[in-house]
Amino acid sequence: MNDFNFQFTAYKIIQDSYDHYQDCRTLDLVVQSNYRSFIVRMNRIKGGEFFAVQTVKTSAKEHTLWHDKMENLEGVPVLVQIRRKFYIAIIDEDGFPEVVRIITFSSLCQGNSWRPRNELCQLKLKIEISKLFLIGWCLSEKEKILLEKIRFRQAKLAANKLRLAEEAKKEERFQRKRERKLSIQSRLPIEIVVPGKGKKTGIPVLESEWATLKDKTRAVLMNGEKNSKNSLGLPVAYFEVDKSIPSKPKKYKFINLLEAVRGHSL
């Protein structure tokens, strides 16, 4: 019996093992899977390039758990190792090679090689092994339904994630707008002198800001530029905010300071 680490790459044994046992037609391998030891007998096929699994036995009592005559195989049973666990992959080589089914060693211990523990585990293994071998995979009807459910769930989760991201952006914009509005409304009033009208006080605002003020708020329009960090500029007008129609705010009792100065000087 030959005891050595065994692994397939595109279901060929690694080169050093192949060279060492190139004259063998049958290999008995001791493999570890799920902390258990198994004896796997393999026969050379395909002109001597590959080995197919013939039997799987327990290492202790050499009780046969599986052999290739126990069921109607849909392809060639090939030993595969993934993350220190061994599996038997059934590869259909008619036309384009496909992974038809995966037999787990844990299912063999339960005397159940043809009914996977769950379809999701079987599906994941098929996809992973097909990527390892660079071949396709064949899905059962249950696996097709499961895959559609997975894709639907993933699409739903992606859409929900996008929706939540959009809502978060919307909430962020709303908060920034609200903070800006509160910042404008909390400004200290300034006092100006209107020729012929005397002193007036109002909250200094830019043209792009005055509509955020509350109804009947007295305001002083400034000529500064938007986003200016230094100053709001100089006062150019005085007015009161009219929000009797909230969707259509207006400037009420509007006084243009430049025109007031010119009129008073005449």
Ranges of each domain in the chain:
8-144, 184-265
Average pLDDT over all residues of the chain: 77
CA gyration radius for the chain? 40
DSSP string, 146-207: HHHHHHHHHHHHHHHHHHHHHHHHHHHHHHHHHHHHHHHHTSPPEEEEETTTEEEEEEEE-T
Q: Is the dihedral of CA 53, 109, 132, 149 positive or negative?
A: positive
DSSP state letter for 115: S
| pLDDT given at position 13 | 39
Please, which residues bridge with residue 137 across strands? 99
Whether the per-residue pLDDT at 166 is higher than 50: the answer is yes
- Say what the pLDDT of residue 24 is: 61
Residue 3 makes CB contacts below 8 A (sequence gap 6+) with: 29, 30
Which of 45-59, 137-151, 155-169 is modeled with the greatest confidence?
Answer: 155-169
pLDDT at 198 over 80: yes
Residue 5 has pLDDT above 70, yes or no: no
Q: What is the pLDDT of residues 62-92, one digit of tens each?
A: 788 887 777 777 788 888 887 777 888 888 7
- Please, what's the b/e burial string for 54-75 (b: 16 or more CB within 10 A of its CB; e: otherwise)? bbbbeeeeeeebbebeeeebeb
pLDDT at 20: 52
Residue 18 has pLDDT above 60, yes or no: no
Give the pTM. Answer: 0.46
Residues 90-105 pLDDT 10s = 887 776 788 888 888 7
CA distance 143 to 124: 10
Number of Cβ within a 10 Å radius of residue 88: 23
- pLDDT at position 226 is 72
Q: With pLDDT > 90 as the criterion, what percentage of the chain qualifies? A: 19
Evaluate if residue 200 carries a pLDDT over 50: yes
pLDDT in tens, 212-234: 999 999 999 988 877 666 678 88
